[in-house]
Structure 1
Amino acid sequence: MSKMKQTPTLLAAAITTALLAGCAAQVTAEQSAAPAAAPAAAKMAKGPAPLAPLPAPPIPPDNLQSPEKVELGKILFFDPRLGGDASTGCSTCHEPDQGWAWAEDFSRGYPGTVHWRNSQTVVNSGYMPRQFWAGSASSNEKQARGAARGGVAGNGEADIMESRLRLIPEYVERFRDVFGTEWPLVRDAWRAISAFERTLNSRGEYESQVDKYLKGDKSALNAEEIKGKALFEGKAGCIQCHNGAVASDQDFHNIGVPPNKRWEEDGLAQITFRFEQYAKGQTQEGYRKAKSDWGFYYRSKNAWDKGKFRTAPLRYLSYTAPYMHNGVFYTLEEVVDFYDRGGFDEEGRTTLFPENKSKLIKPLGLTDDEKAALVAFLEAMSGPEITIEKPKMPEYAPLFTRAELEAAQEAK
């Protein structure tokens, strides 16, 4: 074969090799970036992790804790100026006296809106590598940023929020001391808030009776609570998903939660629902016909993920009613009854995606005494209520008249 004939062949082979390598690299990159749940098969082979005492929260190396940073984050957490119109801050939807959450089915929203999901507590959030109900944030820092800028939550613009911070002398000084910047940067606000949130955990004086029991104090739980623990790990099967130190496998499951009827009756909630369908890249058909929150599907776009949500941690749940992603159950008794019926509410309703319903969800056949014991154990997973004195908000720099400014300039 001549060189003239060999050249195209070699060139084609080289191009094919390059394309295959590029495709492989792309697949690898997509796999590493995809928000995939942990492999179910591997979990089944190993079995669920046992319940364990809550360890110290993990601290990211690029956002180490310090008393000054925590104090700054505490103030910022309660400051509504980190939002769109300076009315909606972190604490607006995460009130300390409401479980550091919001005690309604749907969380509060930006003025003129209502949220579409239940507000989760920030207590113990520092342990959660997947935050929000569909796992769309991988850290407290990203969660804070996402909530402050979300259209139905904070609705804030980064430049406006940052400008407000720079007009407050106390913040200028505190940011300079903590982060070494000449002026406050809004990205550092999320870091400070996250440092504060990592101090809100069920340890020390807020340790639960269950943790004390797991550490060896066998008198920490009474007979009914110990019976509930046995049910939790056995007949009731709760530990299959609610396991480990935070009582969550961090995975996504469709457990049969029915839609919230509020979407059918509340016009404002219906507007938010449709807006979220559009914002999350819903299909045209889905946008027009969806009657429930599709959950993890919005991230994966896989049909089998419709109706799946991240397993909620169980610590501090005594203070965080109502329950589930859409707040359809207001008591732990209702929750236990729902599971006992195999993922059906008292009206016989279940998820609108029964084909995706977890095979782990099935009728349990619990007696009334067993249900009571299970509730008692769940309540023992919450330690004392975490209370805090709300900080005083720093004030803007004083306003000056033109004459005062000119006089000050001349004095220099």
Structure 2
Amino acid sequence: TGCSTCHEPSQGWAWAEDFSRGYPGTVHWRNSQTIINAAYYPRNFWAGSVSSLEKQARSAARGGVAGNGENDIMEARLALIPEYVRRFRKVFGTEWPLIRDAWRAISAYERTLVQRDTPLDKYLLGDKSALTEQQLRGKALFEGKAGCIQCHNGAMATDFSYYNIGVPPNKRWEEDGLAQITFRFEQYAKGQTEEGYRSAKSDWGFYYRTKNKWDRGKFRTPSLRYTMYTAPYMHNGVFYTLEEVVDFYNRGGMDEEGRTTPFPENKSKLIRPLGLTDEEKEDLLAFLEAFSGEEIIVEPPELPEYAPLFTKQELMEARK
């Protein structure tokens, strides 16, 4: 399965459904994240399980519910495309494409997919007309009453830390048998205990890295950049609009039914009812739009053709 299966340029370089697409016959268990500005992340994936884009590419391509690839098979497929053979030889100096260099090539491309010219960037660089009056009111709320800046700060509007903010389970995921099979598979792959494997019904998040019970339900603070194009939101895609996200925070980390995290004991003390009025919510939403510039769309490339490695004559000679 190719990268664009889950990171579609026309869908925010992500996937516009609650859960990412999986390898045929599987269902993924988390929301697909955009690769726009991923070059600036010190760690990737919702629980920060890899430390570079190269490792992310390898993990996704080989993951059983994502690319489901095997190194030798992927290298063989690259070797069957003469254009790739020529380009890999020119860039990496190898006779045949090596899979490790494929990760380097993918990562090099991803590092070109950045956006640094949003209305907020222009405003901070001195163009005071870049934000509307409504957005300026929203900015004041973001930095003050709403408290968003406590976690969404810095150049990427994220502190790159991990929190349990009260996100409720996704009902569809809990009721989808195939999704639960995927989840059990991932539980074992991430070193879950037998008890946890049999009893857990929810994503334990950062816990899979630390094995600390106080990290259950924690996920990385996502960047707010490019969020206009990357719905749905949260690690499980439970909210389809930014309006729903703002309402969730305004209630103190609960959905409209009063549901919250399956791990309330780990819920961050930063999450509390905000008391925002309808007008204030509109102002805040207007400011959130300032984190996104023009949508980044690229012309799909014309993919090179496959070709046999050897001619019939060469194969006949080899059999003699």
Please give the TM-score of this superposition, normalised by the length of structure 1: 0.75
Structure 2: gaps of 5 or more residues: none
Alignment of 1:13-412 (within 5 A): 88-203=1-116, 207-398=117-308, 402-403=312-313, 406=316
Moved over 2 A (4+): 398-409
Greater shift after overlay, 308-317 or 392-401?
Answer: 392-401
What residue identity is the alignment partner of 2:24?
P
- 1:215-248 deviation line (CA, Å, top 9, x unaligned): 0100000000011111111110001000100011
CA distance in 2, matches of 1:400, 1:180: 21
What residue identity is the alignment partner of 2:299?
E
CA distance in 2, matches of 1:407, 1:296: 57
What residue identity is the alignment partner of 1:306?
R
What residue identity is the alignment partner of 2:196?
G
What residue identity is the alignment partner of 1:347?
E
SS for the counterpart of 1:372 is: helix
**401 and 142 in structure 1: CA distance in 2 versus 1, 3 angstrom threshold:** closer
- Asked whether the 8 Å contact 2:80–2:309 carries over to 1, the reply is no
How far apart are 1:323 and its partner, in Å? 0.1
Structure 1: gaps of 5 or more residues: 1-87
**101 and 216 in structure 1: CA distance in 2 versus 1, 3 angstrom threshold:** same
What residue identity is the alignment partner of 2:61?
A
Alignment of 1:1-16 (within 5 A): none
User: Partner of 1:42 in structure 2?
Assistant: none
**403 and 173 in structure 1: CA distance in 2 versus 1, 3 angstrom threshold:** closer
SS for the counterpart of 2:85 is: helix
How far apart are 1:405 and its partner, in Å? 5.2
- Asked whether the 8 Å contact 2:28–2:65 carries over to 1, the reply is yes
Greater shift after overlay, 394-403 or 320-329?
Answer: 394-403
What is the count of residue pairs matched by the alignment? 320
How far apart are 1:260 and its partner, in Å? 0.9
CA distance in 2, matches of 1:253, 1:132: 14
SS for the counterpart of 2:20 is: coil
CA distance in 2, matches of 1:179, 1:403: 30
How far apart are 1:168 and its partner, in Å? 1.3
- 1:44-82 deviation line (CA, Å, top 9, x unaligned): xxxxxxxxxxxxxxxxxxxxxxxxxxxxxxxxxxxxxxx
CA distance in 2, matches of 1:401, 1:169: 13
How far apart are 1:284 and its partner, in Å? 1.5
- Asked whether the 8 Å contact 1:336–1:371 carries over to 2, the reply is yes
- Asked whether the 8 Å contact 1:255–1:361 carries over to 2, the reply is yes
CA distance in 2, matches of 1:344, 1:155: 36
What residue identity is the alignment partner of 2:42?
P
CA distance in 2, matches of 1:188, 1:104: 31
How far apart are 1:408 and its partner, in Å? 11
- Asked whether the 8 Å contact 2:31–2:233 carries over to 1, the reply is yes
SS for the counterpart of 1:278 is: helix
- Asked whether the 8 Å contact 2:20–2:32 carries over to 1, the reply is yes
SS for the counterpart of 1:212 is: helix
- 1:138-159 deviation line (CA, Å, top 9, x unaligned): 1111111110011100011111
Percent same amino acid at aligned positions? 80
CA distance in 1, matches of 2:306, 2:154: 46
CA distance in 2, matches of 1:232, 1:334: 16
- Asked whether the 8 Å contact 2:162–2:221 carries over to 1, the reply is yes
- Asked whether the 8 Å contact 1:259–1:291 carries over to 2, the reply is no
What residue identity is the alignment partner of 2:281?
K
CA distance in 2, matches of 1:284, 1:404: 54
- Asked whether the 8 Å contact 2:79–2:309 carries over to 1, the reply is no
Q: Which has the larger radius of gyration?
A: 1
- 1:81-130 deviation line (CA, Å, top 9, x unaligned): xxxxxxx1111100000000000000000010010000000000000011
